[in-house]
Each structure stands twice: as C-alpha cells, then as structure tokens.
Amino acid sequence: MLDSLIFVLGGTLAAATPLIYAAMGELVVEKSGVLNLSIEGMMATGAATGFVVATMSGSTVAGFAAAAAASMLLSFVFALLALGFLANQVAAGLAVGVLGLGVSVMVGKNYEGTTISPMADVNLGWLSEIPLIGPTLFSQDIMVYAGIFSVILISWMLNRSKLGRIIRAVGESPEAATAIGYPVILVRGLAVLFGGAMAGIGGAHLTLSYTPLWAEGLVAGRGWIVVALVVFGTWRAPRIAAGAYLFGAVSLIELFVQGLGFEIPSQLLSAAPYIITIIVLAVISRNPRVVRLNHPASLGLPYLRTR
C-alpha cells in the first residue's frame, strides 16, 4: 500500500510535468488574447523532434532545444494565420494541430516504437535520502523542478512585472493597448511563439523522460487537456498547476487500481481523464462570474489595427 502511494506521488509529478509546460505556455498566449488550440499537434511535434534529436546526438539538452524550436516554428505558422491573415482562431488552431500531428509522424517515422534511456534523476544529497518523500519528491529529473519553477516565474511575470501588464492590456483591449502605444500584434506574436516553445518542451518531456519512447499518437489528447486546464485554473498559473497535478494523479489511477486488484475495465480507466475533464469543466464554467472575471476580454477575437 505504502509502496503504491510512493509510486503514485512520484508518478504524479512526472506525469503532470508535460502538462505544466504546455499549460504555462498556453496561459501566456490566452492572456494576450489569442486562443491557440493546436497544443496537441505542437506537443506531438516536440515529442517526436526531441526524441529523434536526443537519440541522434545523445544529448537531452539538444533534444529539448530542438523540440522547442520545432514547435515554435509550428506556432509561427499559427501566428501568421491568426494574427497576419486574421483567420478564425479556432479553425487556425485545428489546422496547425493537424499539421503538427502529420509532422510528428513524418519526423519520427524511422524511430517508431524505439526507446531511449530516460533522463537522469537529480541527486539532491540528503533530501533525496529522506524516507518516503526523498525517492519521490526529491529524485526526479531536472525538468520536473524547472516546470515548478516556470509556474512561479510565469505567475510573477503576469501579475507583477511590466511585461505582464503589457500582455494583459493587449489581451483585455487591443484597441486601448494600441492607443497607449503597445505593439499589439508583436506582443501577441511573441506570446504565441513562447507558447509554442513551451508546448514543444512539454512534448519532449513525454518522450525523453516520462515514457521514454516514441510512438505515433503518444500525446493521446494531452494537448486538449492542457487547453481545458487553462479554463479550470481560471487563467491563474498556480491553479492551473494544481489542476495539472490532479490530472497527473488521475492518469496513474489505472496502474494503482489494478495493483490493488480491483476489477474495473481498463477502458473505463483510460477514459477517466476525459470524463473527469468534462465534469470539472462543467462545474467550473457553471459559475459565469468566475469565468467572466478572469477570462481575457478579447480572447479569440481577431484584431486589425485601423488607422
């Protein structure tokens, strides 16, 4: 029992990390007033690119860097469509999402089903040796901790820094932001690129640490759960992170429950994250005040500067 609990705790941190990176990226994107639904495709591209580059070069760092760059390139296509060509953002997100899935299969086609040795866990000295929590909380790979740090950083950036004020202004009212002299399209474009890089890093963490292998369709809807997480967390970084850990735990229930010997169809357990997402989404969205207060006012609306 205790063993399983330790396993679930440690596993939760690892399983939530890809979601955290992608969700922090999407949070910044949505705060700037842009809805990018292509996370699933960008994570897939990052996952495949990171895996292939890390395998070829033997360097995890190179893998993450390549993953970030590849997904950023995809998000650039999205930015062109949504910001340059004023395309409907839902449709543009779907388009780039499909494109990303295609790219991921193309990039990973010679590596289908191959594995890689997972990233090394950090050794935090005596912390890692504390019974129970040592091997779970303090013996993860470095990207798990960097993910937690990114939550703090993004939260501070959005709420306390000048950059955050500009991003929020652009997301609330692009007209007013233009009048003040902020370059709306530039800010939104950079936010989208940042979101792309983060989705790529999240995807790469899946293939370089969590699984660690590449297979087509490996992202398995996580990109959409990320979009839902941003709504659950009502556009606040710490709450989004809490949601990500919750989902990390849910995705492990499958193994945990079977370990305890319950007879539940495995398909019901596989469907659980999606069912829970739907229920939580309904419960949180039910209160329109909560959503309206935090939801960036111009989210998803195209903006053309009129002169």
Q: How far apart are CA 108 and CA 217, in angstroms?
A: 11
- The torsion angle over the Cα atoms of residues 18, 22, 23 and 24, rounded to 10 degrees, is 110
Q: How far apart are CA 305 and CA 6, in angstroms?
A: 54
Site map (CB under 8 A) of another protein, residues 53-92, x = contact: ------------------------x--xx---xxxx-xxx
Q: Measured from the CB of residue 168, what is the shortest distance to another protein in angstroms? A: 21
Report the b/e string of 107-135 with b at 16+ CB within 10 A. bbeebeeeebebbebbeeeeebeeeeeeb
Which of 271, 293, 297, 301: binder of another protein (CB under 8 A)?
A: 271
Which of 114, 117, 159, 285: binder of another protein (CB under 8 A)?
A: 285
Q: Measured from the CB of residue 77, what is the shortest distance to another protein in angstroms? A: 6
DSSP bridge pairs for 121: 141
Q: Measured from the CB of residue 84, what is the shortest distance to another protein in angstroms? A: 8
Q: How far apart are CA 243 and CA 290, in angstroms?
A: 16
Give me 304's structure tokens: 């053309």
Which of 5, 283, 293, 301: binder of another protein (CB under 8 A)?
A: 283
Burial of 68 (0-12, 13-18, 19+ CB in 10 A): buried
Confirm or reject binding of residue 288 to another protein (CB under 8 A): yes
Stretch that binds another protein, among 131-139, 179-187, 226-234, 251-259 (CB under 8 A): 226-234
Cβ-contact 14, 173 below 8 angstroms: no
Confirm or reject binding of residue 277 to another protein (CB under 8 A): yes
Confirm or reject binding of residue 94 to another protein (CB under 8 A): yes
Applying CB under 8 A, the residues found at the interface with another protein are 37, 41, 77, 80-81, 85-88, 90-92, 94-103, 105-106, 109, 221, 224, 227-228, 231, 265, 267-268, 270-271, 274-275, 277-278, 281-283, 285-286, 288, 291, 304, 307
